[in-house]
Structure 1
């Protein structure tokens, strides 16, 4: 058996001491540690008045109150020239619902447009029910049912929206109504039970022009707008 020399024994003792010190520092929680870095939430902030029962819902940022009346309408004035009927209508909606933002609304409406067009083509009643008013939903469902009775199917592909503009806005009682003119591109064809094309063209991109009106009750806690009227532009 070989004896350890003094130098070797010194380094062993030193290593043990250092290990115990590191364990005391790194092996305990103090309660002030930062949570692990999450790249999806690192730059996200939320303004809340208390704990939310729906933590998986991403809330749109709330508009901050301002004492300057004109600056409160600045984004509306960028959408419609001051003094016009459209500007007055948008301001009336803002007065009834301070969180209303025409740009945010327009972005949401364009998403809803695509969802509705594709849901109608697919006969997706569940999606349509969440996005349409009762009257519009009943009309869409009736058309879908008639199509199914004839064993017809719509083959549709949404290309995109070329242009979408707010053309009118107004308050009807407590309901806000905003009308859009939407120009989109769509590939669509209706096939019969034998698979033959009876309407449209499965190879051609067609330009579609629609005038759609969305509405919501400003007294409701539900922030969602629903399609309440449709019109095809000639």
Structure 2
């Protein structure tokens, strides 16, 4: 009986192991792409939580990262910080010296400004805006865009909805983002960024059939967007949020 029991137990174990291997082959394994998508989702959730808890700003406004300025330093520390900011901005790689001049003009008014941190925040804003437009999420767009740009985006969404079409889109990622223009005029700082990104995009009709684009193909997209922020006063600078104020097609 003991030998028969051991044999049956062995057979059961073999069957169980085979079932586990089969189940793993059916379910598959998490890929690097899956990990990246999950991480992007978590990042969005963290950003949404931070925006919801911000004082004096809308819960959906993108805040481009800035350095902490809660404590007012003594005069020598301010001078050291200003020198450090200027040194860092002069070392920041640009394609046109006029860009450095514009960045320095911004930093003179707002020493907390950092071009690398700005560009990182602009990239996150870009992804959110592109995704919100595809989803027809006017509420998020309204908090991220200037009035004029919002009206243009909203009109395009309305036309798409009137035709009964949907935009099936997946944001793959930004391949490159670079500052191409800077300006400070009447206390308003403006920075133009050129984004080279990858998207999977397809427009579907009422029946769900693809009428343009390709739901299986990644395409390269270039967008040139300008973000602005009021830095004219201490009160204005206390609001770190930038908004998209202009878009243009690449030459």
User: Do they fold alike, i.e. is TM over 0.5?
Assistant: yes
Q: Indicate the structure (1 or 2) with the bigger Cα radius of gyration.
A: 1
| Aligned counterparts of 1:122 and 1:128: Cα–Cα separation in 2 | 10
1:134 and 2:147 are equivalent in the alignment: yes
Q: Structure 1 residues 90 and 172, CA, compared in 2 at 3 Å: closer, same or farther?
A: same
Q: Match for residue 89 of structure 1?
A: 102
CA contact (8 A) 1:170 1:178 kept: yes
Q: Say which SS state the counterpart of residue 182 (structure 2) adopts.
A: strand
Q: 1:82 Cα shift?
A: 11
- Cα 1:214–1:147, aligned 2, differ >3 Å: closer, same or farther? same
Q: Which runs of 5+ in 2 are unaligned?
A: 1-53, 57-62
**Conserved? CA contact 2:67–2:113, under 8 Å:** no
SS at match of 1:198: strand
Measured against aligned partners, the alpha-carbon deviations of 1:60-112 in whole angstroms (never above 9, x if no partner) come to 54267442454331221122469911110000011121211111111100000
Aligned pair partner of 1:215 in 228, 240, 245: 228
Structure 1 counterpart of 2:91: 78
Distance in 2, Cα, partners of 1:92 & 1:99: 12
2:47 match: none
Provide structure 1 residue ranges, at least 5 long, that are not aligned to the other structure.
1-51
Q: 2:193 aligns with which of 157, 180, 187?
A: 180
What is residue 247 of structure 2 aligned with on the other side? 230
Structure 2 match to 1:150? 163
- Match 1:201 to one of 207, 214, 226: 214
Structure 2 residue aligned with 1:67: 79
Number of residues of Structure 1 aligned to a counterpart in Structure 2: 180
1:189 and 1:197 in contact (8 A); partners too: yes
- Whether the 8 Å contact between 1:80 and 1:86 is mirrored in structure 2 is no
Three-state SS of the structure 1 residue aligned to 2:89 is helix
Q: What is the Cα deviation at residue 199 of structure 1? A: 1.2
> Does residue 112 of structure 1 match 2:98?
no
- RMSD of aligned alpha carbons: 2.3
**Cα distance change on mapping 1:53 and 1:232 into 2, 3 Å:** closer
Mapped to 2, the partners of 1:158 and 1:227 lie a distance apart of: 19
Distance 2:55 2:100 in 1: 36
Name the TM-score, length of structure 2 as normaliser.
Answer: 0.67
